[in-house]
Structure 1
Amino acid sequence: MSMQRWRRCARRRSAWMPPGRHWTYGFGRRDSMREGWREVRLGEVCTLHYGKALPAKSRVHGVVPVAGSSGAFDSHDSANVGTAQSIVVGRKGTAGSVTWFDQAVWVTDTAYWAEAKGVEMPFLHLLLGSVDLPSYTAQTGVPGLNRERVYSIPVAIPSRPERLRIVNLIASADDALHAALCEENRALAMLSSLRADHFAPMLTGEQSFASHLALIKKTIPIVSDRAYRIIGVLNRGRGLLDRGTKLGGDTSYEKLNVIESEQLVYSRLKAFEGAVTVTPADMESAFASAEFPAFAIGGTVSPDWLRELTRSPQLWELMASRSKGMGGRRERLKPDDFLSLPLTPPDLVEQHRVMETIRRVSATADAAHATAEALRTLRSNLLTVLLSGEHEIPESYDHLLNLAEEGAAA
């Protein structure tokens, strides 16, 4: 249907539609739209302009971001966007992405820049982010976002005072989310510093892992009709990989290593990637191939402290340096070579003290992460409700907004 025909149909419908009733064109009626709201097509409040290619050799380093469908990736000394604030919409590549800039930018040919018509730029940014633009991406030929499809999307537009309230409320939610993310990042940075400061010096000295660990040679022969819970080890000290339960007849192994709780286990083949961990205290017995040697932990080191040590990049580097083979994925770390790595731990009292500190900081990071995830969900749900036009914004929201602004000012 052409735009002119659509508008003629709209006028005919409005002639007989009772006052206070609204129509979602092509999608059926919406009877619960509040007074002061109107339904339009996105193209009535937004124009998407093509960006322009800017080869690297033509860029002049400056303060203007160069942005494509995935956001900013370089800088330039001038902009090609005709607005003081910029909304960049992915056209190719990350098609349908929406990125906000508080300044003019140079938008490349993989993206559009959005111009608001009759609404404020911050409100348009929320509107574009709420309509799931990636779902309107063409899937035939070269995937991309077609402007005409975007222009046809029905949206609800409130009065200007209501738009400003919505923008301010979402901005408050964004501020809270930003604060939670900053708290998480601070805790993670502190955790990284704690680990580096404490564990790096431990991987030196005259003692070695052989002073504190003992290789376990506990294996069982494979029985074809017996089920075995098979495990592996994730890289970068991330713990165990549960490979599920398999029948002996479904494996190529003749025998398996028995892996039990509070043992150090590593992958001989992936040692250069830091595939090492200490099994949990509550783990039930499991099985692994001969590529996963297991070690009993002596009384001089705490399993929790040693598990934390396996998350140390310095240990991963040592393991990589002792791996031998033809290079890359053919390298292996033999148990004797692993046991020869230097390790001079502090006494148990100091190990427990360090672990208490690490647990506290980890708990702070986990709590901040959980808060951030909850705020992301809250923001998404809040935006959906606020832009539906079906619910009145309670005055209590304004009160909360004032409190948030006062808290930020303090």
Structure 2
Amino acid sequence: MSEQWVETTLGEVADWSAGGTPKATNRSFYDGGDVPWAIISDIQNGPLRETAKCITPAGLDAIGGAKKVVPEGAVLVSMYGSVGRSAIARTPMATNQAIARGVVGTQVSPEYLFLWINAHEGQLDQMARGATQRNINKQIITAFPIVLPPAPVQERIVEIIGAVDDHIAALDAEVGALQGVYRAATSLLWGTAEGDEAAPQLLGNVMHLDVVRTPMEAGTTYRLAGVLNAGKGLVDKDEFDGADTEYAAMNILRENQVVMRKLTAWEGPITVVPAGFDGFVASNEFPTFTLADDIAPGWMKHVCRTPRLWAEMQSRVVGTVQRRKRLNPDQLLLVALPVPSRREQEQAAEALDAIEGQVAVIRAEATRLRKARAGLLSGLLDRTIDIESAELEV
């Protein structure tokens, strides 16, 4: 391209002091009500999230540390955060009321400035100080290098990436909608063919405690599993040698068994073991249960994802210290839930599996697009990708 790109720094093109510090005696930045208040968790490498968090003027005055009124179209960079993770955001062009820390106002296209910082956040992290707590300051951010194309080129890059972002946002919205459909469809788990709720049964009638222990032997490799909250399944926690654990023996997980975590059971750490985790091990904090013949494992998998089951588990935990409360196997087996026929279970599971399958496909497409977006943005900014060809593809 023939347009001239200029190598400069953020300090040359952006105003660190943009927005100004709100004064206790000057309420011009709000209309008399509570003040929208942004914190680091609201800065998620994208548009500043609309948040219900507001603060009274008196509360704002009571908070220590520097604060700024965010101007329209500002780019925000958090001064603190975990090493390896930048926190960058941009504000809508029509919003100037939010209060935040560490604002970089802009004299160039705010959308382009955001894209540049976002694409080079790894470089920003390398400039940050601190071993575990990321810390940047005015000197670091103002010295941060930026390559600035002419305004028309900035706009074209923003439009190209914006089109991809719109597609990703649409996919994310579709996932959210399908998750809502899934939550509503879990009512099928309890229903009969006639549309009534099935008669309740104790879990002790549909499954029984069935724990198989294996000794931990030096020189033998085992694979450790963990149980995720909210019935979300199992997580592979990697291999280990039998000599590298303090446990003399551990529980073996077997396909189609139910496994739960006794500790923090109110968070729903319960699931059905899939084929890929058959033979994994877990400590005795993870009891296993074998289902009766008239219980479909696929149905039980979805039951484990329902707040109805988690609430029953929560009501039965024992202990005095919240994070150390446990649910014992015999208490779980006293939970009563509607249990339809095996055929009705399978039909409900099939319907919910179909929704899950759609969610998985859409999420995979969104992941692919995010990866492609990163490569496209990098190529546009370092000029290894031609803008005209990118516009045609998008």
TM tier, shorter chain? 0.7 to 0.9
Whichever residue aligns with residue 117 of structure 2, its letter is L
Among 84, 88, 109, which residue is 2:76 paired with?
A: 88
- Alpha carbons of 1:147 and 1:251: their partners in 2 closer, same or farther (altered >3 Å)? closer
2:160 matches 1:178: no
For 1:37-116, list aligned pairs within 5 A: 37-42=4-9, 43-49=11-17, 51-53=20-22, 65-67=36-38, 69=40, 70-71=42-43, 73-74=53-54, 84-92=72-80, 97-106=88-97, 108=99, 110-116=101-107
SS at the partner of 2:315? Answer: helix
Kept in 2, the 8 Å contact 1:264–1:296? The answer is: yes
1:8-407 correspondence runs (5 A): 34-42=1-9, 43-49=11-17, 51-53=20-22, 65-67=36-38, 69=40, 70-71=42-43, 73-74=53-54, 84-92=72-80, 97-106=88-97, 108=99, 110-116=101-107, 119-132=108-121, 133-139=124-130, 144-195=135-186, 197-199=187-189, 205-216=199-210, 218-219=212-213, 229-242=223-236, 251-253=245-247, 256-281=250-275, 283-389=277-383, 391-394=385-388, 396-399=389-392
| Pairwise CA distance, 1:170 | 1.6
* Structure 1 contact 66–105 (Cα < 8 Å) conserved: no
Shift of 1:302: 0.3
- What amino acid is aligned across from residue 52 of structure 1 in structure 2? T
1:179-237 CA-to-partner distances (Å, cap 9, x unmatched) read: 11111111122112222x23467998442112221332545666677665554533332
Check whether the contact 2:81–2:135 (CA below 8 A) recurs between aligned residues: yes
TM-score (norm 2): 0.76
Q: Is the 8 A contact 2:207 2:291 kept in 1?
A: yes
Q: CA RMSD in A?
A: 3.8
Which residue does the alignment assign to 1:3? none
Matches of 2:97 and 2:288, distance apart in 1: 56
Cα distance in 1 for partners of 2:283, 2:71 equals 62
SS of structure 1 residue aligned to 2:295: coil
Q: What's the secondary structure of 1:171's corresponding residue? A: helix
2:368 counterpart letter in structure 1: A
Distance 1:129 1:217 in 2: 49
Deviation at residue 62 of structure 1 after TM alignment = 5.4
Question: Relative to 1, partners in 2 of residues 1:201 and 1:270: Cα closer, same or farther, differing over 3 Å?
Answer: farther
Q: Distance in 1 between matches of 2:118 and 2:250?
A: 52
Tell me, what secondary structure is at the counterpart of 2:159?
A: helix
Q: Is the 8 A contact 1:225 1:249 kept in 2?
A: yes
**1:16-71 Cα deviation digits (max 9, x unpaired):** xxxxxxxxxxxxxxxxxx4222323123332222542577x976665985445544
AA at the equivalent of 2:351? T
1:375-404 CA distance string (max 9 Å, x none): 22222222222222455322x544455xxx
**CA distance in structure 2 between the partners assigned to 1:53 and 1:245 by the alignment:** 54
**1:173 partner SS:** helix
Cα distance in 2 for partners of 1:311, 1:161 equals: 50
CA contact (8 A) 1:207 1:343 kept: yes
Contact 1:269 1:291 in 2 (8 A): yes
Q: Secondary structure at the match of 1:343?
A: strand
SS at match of 1:236: helix
Pick closer, same or farther for the CA change 1:64–1:287 going to 2, 3 Å.
Answer: closer
Relative to structure 1, is the Cα distance of residues 60 and 230 closer, same or farther in structure 2, using a 3 angstrom cutoff? same
- Is 2:164–2:373's contact at 8 Å kept on the other side of the alignment? yes
More deviation, 382-391/170-179: 382-391
Separation (CA, whole Å) in 1 of partners of 2:87 and 2:235: 35
Question: SS at 1:85's partner residue?
Answer: coil
Q: SS of the counterpart of 1:191?
A: helix
TM-score (norm 1): 0.73
Q: CA 1:321 to 1:158, structure 2 compared with 1: closer, same or farther past 3 Å? A: same
Higher Rg of the two aligned structures: 1
On the 8 A contact 2:171/2:366 being kept in 1, the answer is yes
Structure 1 CA distance for aligned equivalents of residues 214 and 236 of structure 2: 19
- Contact 2:22–2:69, Cα closer than 8 Å, also in 1: no
Distance, in Å, in 2 between the alignment partners of 1:82 and 1:253 is: 54
Distance 1:318 1:47, change over 3 A: same
Q: Offset of 1:359 from its aligned partner?
A: 1.6
| Unaligned segments of structure 1, at least 5 residues | 1-33, 402-410
